[in-house]
Structure 1
Amino acid sequence: MSKIIKVFFSPSETTKKVVSQIANNFEEESVVCDLLYFNDEKNFESDDIVIVGMPVFAGRIPKTARDRLSRLSGDNTKAIAVVNYGNAHVSDALIELVDLLDENNFDVIAAASTVSHHSIFDGVAVGRPDGDDIEKINGFAQKCIEKIDAGTSLEAEIPGNRPYLDYKQLPFVVSCDEAKCVFCLECVGVCPEKAIPDDDPADMNLDLCSRCTSCINICPENARAFTGEAFKAKKPAFESANAERKEPKFYF
């Protein structure tokens, strides 16, 4: 019996929300494969339906997410590819995701780029995905169900470039307010780069840190945040440049 597999890398939980919204349109039982924590090899069955959601980091799938996703393989398994971005630029992320799924023996039937509240610059795409986004995401899911029933694969050309953009390391500092930190170690457990030492969670190895925001999002005391002159200088210009609403795009 087929089941829905929700595969996502979602440090700020917005990509998880989009994947879950798509899955809610299916009648099949769903299970979760959270790549923030899952880092093993796994092969999916031919009758599974896999919904793969990735955030966009500077026009690419995050490197750690890509590495972990590359360990998952299909058996001509139906897949829906989704990249979720903060109203700035998709660039090469979606074509990269579709390519990787193709390489790992998934049958991609449809793809999408969706918009959510920006995880770093919080003045961009506030409140998204909103009601209009959700309606469009549900419509996309229904068309995916129709394609699965019809047995057809992705036909549309996905925008993007090969070779993909080079990976970029953002210069922003993630810091911890030691006066707020209660040493719960939630940030240590969630960090996919192992950049936070468990003996001093107020510290951070910025050479390892990918600025994914997982530690900021999970902190119950709001002790962690982006700080520093580079971040303060970039924030108003970035938010102004990306104020105009962008819409989700769907490919069949």
Structure 2
Amino acid sequence: MSKVISIFFSPSGTTKKVISKIAGNFKQEKETCDLLHFNDNKSFDEKDIAIVGMPVFAGRIPKTARERLSKLTGNNTKAIAVVNYGNAHVTDALLELVELLKENNFDVIAAASTISHHSIFDGVAVGRPDQDDVEKINGFAQKCIEKIESGESLQSEIPGNKPYVDYKQLPFTISCDESVCAFCYDCVSICPEKAIPDDDPVDTDLDLCSRCTACIHICEENARSFTGDAFETKKPAFEEANSERKEPEFYL
């Protein structure tokens, strides 16, 4: 019997939310592969259906997410590729994801770029995905189901360029307010880069940190945040430049 496997890297939880919406349209047994926590080799059956979601970091899928996804292989496994971004730019991320899945023997049948509340600049895409987004995402999922039943592969051309845009390291500082921190060590456990020392959750190695925001979003005390002149200077300009609503795009 076929399974629907939701595969995602979702530091702020928004990409997971989109993938869960798509998966909810399928009747098959569900399985989850959370790449924030899973970092091992795994293969999938020809009868499986993989729904793969990645956030967009400066026009690319995150480097660590790419490394972990590269360990997953299909057996002509049907796949739906989704990149989720904060209303700024997709750039090469969707093309990169589609190409990587094909290289790993997945049969990509459809692809999409969806919009969620920006994980760093919280004034961008507030409330997204909203009801209109969800209706479009569900409509896309139904078309994917029809396409899987027909046996067709992806026909649309995916936007993007090769070679992909270079990875960028954002200059923003992540700080922890020691007076608020509960020393629960959840941030230490969730950090995919191991940038927070096991013995000092207040510290962050900014050379290792990818600014993925996992530590910020898991902190129930709101002790961790972006700070510093670089962030405070960039925030208003970025939010103004990306205030116009973008819509999800679907490729079949």
TMscore range, shorter length: over 0.9
TM-score normalised by L of structure 1: 1.00
Q: Which residue of 2 aligns with 1:77?
A: 77
SS of the residue corresponding to residue 59 of structure 1 reads coil
The CA deviation at 1:12 is 0.2
**Alignment partners' CA distance in 2, 1:238 and 1:193:** 26
The CA deviation at 1:29 is 1.1
Q: Which residue of 2 aligns with 1:42?
A: 42
Q: Which residue of 1 aligns with 2:120?
A: 120
**Alignment partners' CA distance in 1, 2:22 and 2:171:** 34
TM-score normalised by L of structure 2: 1.00
Q: Which residue of 1 aligns with 2:13?
A: 13
Alignment of 1:188-227 (within 5 A): 188-227=188-227
Identity of aligned residues (%): 76
Paired amino acid for 1:239: E
The CA deviation at 1:198 is 1.5
Asked whether 1:130 is paired with 2:130, we answer yes
Q: Once the two structures are superposed, what CA deviation does each residue of 1:67-107 show, in whole Å capped at 9, x if it has no partner?
A: 00000000000000000000000000000000000000000
**Alignment partners' CA distance in 2, 1:29 and 1:225:** 38
Asked whether 1:4 is paired with 2:4, we answer yes
- Give the count of matched residue pairs: 252
**Alignment partners' CA distance in 2, 1:56 and 1:142:** 24
Residue ranges of structure 1 left out of the alignment (5+ in a row): none
Q: Which residue of 1 aligns with 2:110?
A: 110
SS of the residue corresponding to residue 110 of structure 2 reads strand
Q: Which residue of 2 aligns with 1:54?
A: 54
Q: Which residue of 2 aligns with 1:99?
A: 99
Residue ranges of structure 2 left out of the alignment (5+ in a row): none
Q: Which residue of 2 aligns with 1:173?
A: 173
Q: Once the two structures are superposed, what CA deviation does each residue of 1:130-161 show, in whole Å capped at 9, x if it has no partner?
A: 00000000000000000000000000000000
Paired amino acid for 1:22: I
Paired amino acid for 1:126: V
**Alignment partners' CA distance in 2, 1:198 and 1:178:** 15
**Alignment partners' CA distance in 2, 1:215 and 1:146:** 39
The CA deviation at 1:112 is 0.0
Q: Which residue of 1 aligns with 2:163?
A: 163
| Ranges of 4+ aligned residues in structure 1 off by more than 2 Å | none
